[in-house]
Amino acid sequence: MALQPNFVTCALLALVSCASSLSVASPFVNITPDPELAALRPVAPIEVPPAGAATTEPSLPALVLNFAPDAKDARNAKLHFADVWDRIRAGFSLPRVDAKEATQSEAWYAAHTELVTKILERSRYYLFHIVEEIEQRGMPMELALLPFVESGFDPFALSPAQASGLWQFIPETANKYKLPRNNAFDARRDIIASTAAALDYLTFLHDTFGDWQLALAAYNWGENQVARALERNRAKGLPVDFASLQLPAETRNYVPKLMAVKQIVLSPASFRIALPAVPNLRYFTTVARSAALDLSQAARFAEMKIEEFKILNPAYNYDVINASATMPLIVPVDRARGFEQRLDEFMRKEQARQKLWTVKSGRRAGQRVWNKGNSD
């Protein structure tokens, strides 16, 4: 989100110079090489595999393609679109950027199709929700692709400046947009909360600067820095559009990178890329809970692998969720009913067990009880 030293970019530049004659800055900012392992760790420099090299990364679980949502669900909006990509294309509204940086970014993406495909596959969990939120706010659909540039659609991405999540919130901005963080939970990684906060912030920036390119520059560099750059140009009698400002290299390339991703979605064949299937149906929903719960238990209740469950619920720092945590859990819509039934049964048993423990310990009814795993 905010401008920051970027060792990922430096590593990619070195790799590109060895593998290609393109002297182009990397379009990627903060990408974790193995997102589906759900390990909370700083972002490591990603390695571009040599052409033809076999990949050992597990493919996206089949559930994302084979889930069975209710097509009559009113929340499955815009069903006349064949898939989410069609819906995204229909909402594009920002003008094309005619700049050398956009051409260079397009060339870089075209030269690294395996990496681009990996990021696009990763997006399938989250795109429908992001598109829904953007559409409801009447915002340009190009913004749905911003996590591609920010985090490589990796909710576990963590930058050297401690920007975290799909939308790469730094702590200061997270505080401003009410994304709480504590030892157990980081809302910057929560898919629903962080998306709402990012779109709130982008709306504020657009209202402030009256231009989406300037709003995006401020998202990357910071609103105060962009405001000062505008004032410098005004003082000199210079234009105050994005192309006319004196910007750091990362910010100068930021909007062109996003526009290059837009071109991939518009014309994937010209990049030798096949867009992964993303049904235009709601993929996940939320389920509330009121008892301490182990994430591995929750994954079993949802009949999912723990790695996949964490991809939908990346905000938790530990494998045990305290009873005091109020954020709901996210599960695929076709697993929600069974998950809720098993969770309700589990919570009833937990409450009965706690009541029995309270009686046996000699405590009065209603007296607060400390129990292992919940120190609140």
Hunting for tokens 């009410």 — which residue is that?
178
Q: Residue 177 falls within a domain, yes or no?
A: yes
**Segments in the chain below pLDDT 50:** 4-67, 364-376
Q: Residue 365 falls within a domain, yes or no?
A: no
**pLDDT at residue 324, as a whole number:** 67
Question: Would you say the C-alpha torsion 266, 169, 374, 35 has a positive or negative sign?
Answer: positive
Looking at the fold, whether 207 and 92 belong to one and the same domain comes out as yes
Q: Residue 279 falls within a domain, yes or no?
A: no
Looking at the fold, whether 350 and 215 belong to one and the same domain comes out as no
Looking at the fold, whether 207 and 312 belong to one and the same domain comes out as no
Q: Is 347 exposed, middle or buried (0-12, 13-18, 19+ CB in 10 A)?
A: middle
Q: Does this model's pTM top 0.85?
A: no
Q: Residue 369 falls within a domain, yes or no?
A: no
64, 133, 4, 316 alpha-carbon torsion, rounded to 10°: -60
Q: Is 231 a catalytic residue?
A: no
**pLDDT at residue 282, as a whole number:** 93
Number of structural domains found in the chain: 2
Looking at the fold, whether 289 and 233 belong to one and the same domain comes out as no
**pLDDT at residue 351, as a whole number:** 74
Q: Domain of 140? A: 7-271
**pLDDT at residue 363, as a whole number:** 52
Q: Residue 367 falls within a domain, yes or no?
A: no
Length of the chain: 376
Strands (E), 171-324: 284-287, 293-294, 320-321
CB distance 169 to 163 below 8 Å: yes
Catalytic residue among 101, 121, 142, 150: 150
